[in-house]
A = this chain, B = another copy of it.
Amino acid sequence: MPEPLPDEGPPSDLVSDVFARDCTSRSAFEDVTAKWASLTLLALHEGGYRFNALRRRVEGVSEKMLSQTLQALERDGFLTREVVTAIPPRVEYALTPLGQRVAGRLRALADLLEEAAPEVERAREEHPGRAR
């Protein structure tokens, strides 16, 4: 007869699954692939940034969207926000070790798509459907 499950909450080896709507890995996956989050992570993969420099690097992002994106990524533990006491004080953003690993995987995806850009262009030209 199998051992009864101990009565101490969920087992610690519950399997994570990005397809499961209630799984932390799914919301984390959505957070890092969100509209501006991936490019923000790719930028910070190059090194720490101050807010305005980061905003210039992530072409097209508004101040509000970048701010929200940074908050969500900080909350998930992918980046840190450090207030540097100087005159004037400044705020610097940098990836945590986990954020570096996530950004590395996104960089591998970006590398592939940069390399495949001509192939994607050809597919778009040949595609019978309407343009974007």
Contacts and interface: CB of A to CB of B under 8 A. Distances in A.
Interface residues of A, number: 55
Interface of A (DSSP majority class): helix
B117 A28 contact: yes
A31 to B, nearest CB: 9
A114 B17 contact: yes
B114 A105 contact: no
A82 to B, nearest CB: 15
Contacts of A72: 132
B28 A113 contact: yes
A50 interface: no
Contacts of A74: 127, 129
Contacts of A84: none
A59 B120 contact: no
A110 B59 contact: no
Interface in A98-122: 98, 101-102, 105-106, 108-110, 112-122
A110 B17 CA distance: 8
A21 B117 contact: no
30 contacts: A15-B114, A16-B114, A16-B115, A18-B110, A18-B113, A19-B42, A19-B57, A23-B117, A27-B132, A28-B117, A29-B109, A29-B113, A30-B35, A33-B33, A33-B109, A74-B127, A75-B123, A75-B124, A75-B127, A75-B132, A76-B123, A77-B122, A98-B116, A98-B120, A101-B116, A102-B109, A102-B113, A105-B112, A106-B109, A109-B109
